[in-house]
A and B are shown apart, each in its own frame.
Chain A
Amino acid sequence: MIRRSLPLLALGLGLAACSTPPPPPPGDPRLIITPAVQSLSFSAPVVNAGPDGRLRVNVNVVNPHGGDFPLRIQTDWLDETGRPLPTLQSRPVFRSLARQTVTTIEADAPSPRARDFRMTFDIGN
């Protein structure tokens, strides 16, 4: 009985290893990475304030694939109360990431009133 169940147990463990979930996204809660783009690598966001007081964000994205990757980026800029500012800078931006390269995604706050941001990455089409 035990001899019979051992291969089954081994098979079950093997299958569980195959279905290991993809690695978690970077810990920064300001980056929202949808499952469709989790095969890309995202750096932690670098946030600076420009000379005019507006926030500027850079995120490096690595495309390890053998083909170009269509990426859709949407950046919401939030005021001090956490409400999104109405701005064209929150409209989706589409980038085609060249294969096996690093692309820097940049976003600039529309005004110094923006205190925080939320950047969502999704597949472009």
Chain B
Amino acid sequence: MTDTARPARRALLAGAALLALPACVAGEMATQRVDPRNDRTPIGMGLDNRDFEEAARALVRSMLESGRLQPRPDGQPRVMAISRITNDTTLRINTNELTQLVSVELNNSGRVVTTTAVGLDGPADPLAMQTRQLRQSGEFNQRTVAARGQMIAPDLSLSGNIIQRSTRVDGGAMRVDYVFQLNLTNIRTGIALWQGQEVISRVGSGRTVMW
């Protein structure tokens, strides 16, 4: 082999090795389906779907156990509106993930129904109000258009916080506590009918950074 061919061969080998490296890393784990009812995949220091389900499960259980969610005087379930849930963590969280789980579970209990026509930042479903504009339209059979005074106002408001507290523990590890707090307020009186808190904690590597 000539002196000029040797560096070229080395460069070629180095290039091939660099190209092969990401392929090896990517090939470590094949993509798999996860059954949410039997999810035994590893956990991280952040929050995943299992944590939201666990928090919602415990909080709804506490709500129903409190005995404060009595039906309305006419026997109908209470009507709940979703207020503000503050994300006070370093994680990017869509708090709807928590409120949806809570409201679905409460709806299934038969004790509470959720209104989507009223919300802190506007209704979750603006169409309910918008379809009232069809009252002026001659194109629609007016008997199929919602009449005035049909909507039911909420008598409960759901608010809360998700709080994160990180502390270093012995051995250089990190402990992270996520505190899920919910309040159920009687809108008529402004008094909290129920308040609950569920803490989900992790201890793991101190080198983990959570965003």
A binding-site residues for B, Cβ under 8 Å: 51-52, 54, 74, 85-91, 93, 108, 110-112
Within the complex, what minimum Cβ distance (angstroms) separates B170 from chain A? 18
Within the complex, what minimum Cβ distance (angstroms) separates A63 from chain B? 21
Q: How far apart are the CA atoms of A85 and B107 in the complex, in Å?
A: 13
> Residues of A contacting B37 with CB < 8 Å?
74, 90-91
Q: Are A86 and B108 in contact (CB-based, < 8 A)?
A: yes
Q: How far apart are the CA atoms of A108 and B61 in the complex, in Å?
A: 7
- B62 to chain A: closest residue by CB: A108
> B38-78: contact bitstring with A at CB < 8 Å (1 yes, 0 no)?
00000000000010011011001100110100000000000
B155 within 8 A of A: no
Decide yes or no: A88 and B57 within 8 Å by CB, A111-B109, A111-B110 being known contacts: yes
Main SS of the interface on chain B? helix
Besides A74-B37, A108-B61, 10 other A-B contacts (C-beta < 8 A): A52-B64, A86-B108, A88-B53, A88-B56, A89-B105, A91-B50, A91-B53, A108-B64, A108-B65, A112-B110
27 sampled A-B residue pairs with Cβ under 8 A? A51-B67, A52-B64, A52-B111, A74-B37, A85-B108, A86-B108, A87-B105, A87-B108, A88-B56, A88-B57, A88-B60, A88-B101, A88-B105, A89-B61, A89-B105, A90-B37, A91-B37, A91-B53, A91-B54, A93-B54, A93-B57, A110-B105, A110-B108, A110-B109, A111-B108, A111-B109, A112-B110
Within the complex, what minimum Cβ distance (angstroms) separates B70 from chain A? 9
- B40 to chain A: closest residue by CB: A125
